[in-house]
Structure 1
Amino acid sequence: MIQHFQFQSLYKHEQLPGWNISFYFNKEKMEGIYHPDGRIEWQQRYTFDEGVEEKIKGQIHELMLYHVYDNR
């Protein structure tokens, strides 16, 4: 489960898409860039158990939809 999810615009002009994201998963801080097409570029190489990365990405997509796209 993702905890302490945070996001911040990559650009000063916040209407340009792209966000730095960070959160904790299993007591490990994880960071990445969330691109407008939904792609996530991890800031470092993380080792995930089988299927876990896809679950994390799904949770991030839901959080971004709620916090960024639904609140316009």
Structure 2
Amino acid sequence: MLSHFHYREIKNNMINQEWDFDFYYKQNKYKGKYFKDGSITWYHQGAGDMEEKEQKFLEDCVHDLMLYHVYEEH
């Protein structure tokens, strides 16, 4: 379960949209950049060491949270 998810818009124009995000997972802080196309660039130092299954889970969670917070109207 992710906790303390935060995001911040860093670029928003007709061509490109980008957001920085961070959260905690298993007592580790993860950071990254989320792009309009759904791709993610990880800033977390240990992100390259994540198992593929765990990375997929975290990317799915971030994607769902970004859809909820950015794209859905509340």
Aligning the two structures, in what range does the TM-score lie when normalised by the shorter sequence?
Answer: 0.7 to 0.9
1:31-58 per-residue CA deviation (whole Å, 9 max, x = no partner) reads 0000111000001342223401101111
SS in structure 1 of the partner of residue 36 of structure 2:
coil
Q: Which residue of 2 aligns with 1:34?
A: 34
User: Which structure has the highest helix share of the two?
Assistant: 2
What one-letter code is carried by the residue in structure 2 that aligns with 1:18? E
**Aligned length in residues:** 69
Alignment CA distance shift 1:50-1:18 (3 Å) = closer
Question: 1:10 and 2:14 equivalent?
Answer: no
CA distance in structure 2 between the partners assigned to 1:49 and 1:40 by the alignment? 16
What one-letter code is carried by the residue in structure 1 that aligns with 2:30? M
Q: TM-score, normalised by structure 2?
A: 0.83
Q: Percent identity?
A: 32
SS in structure 2 of the partner of residue 10 of structure 1:
strand
CA RMSD of aligned residues (A): 1.6
CA distance in structure 1 between the partners assigned to 2:26 and 2:38 by the alignment? 23
Stretches of structure 2 lacking an aligned partner (at least 5 in a row): none
Which 4+ stretches in 1 moved above 6 angstroms?
A: none
What one-letter code is carried by the residue in structure 2 that aligns with 1:49? E
Q: TM-score, normalised by structure 1?
A: 0.85
User: Which structure has the highest strand share of the two?
Assistant: 2
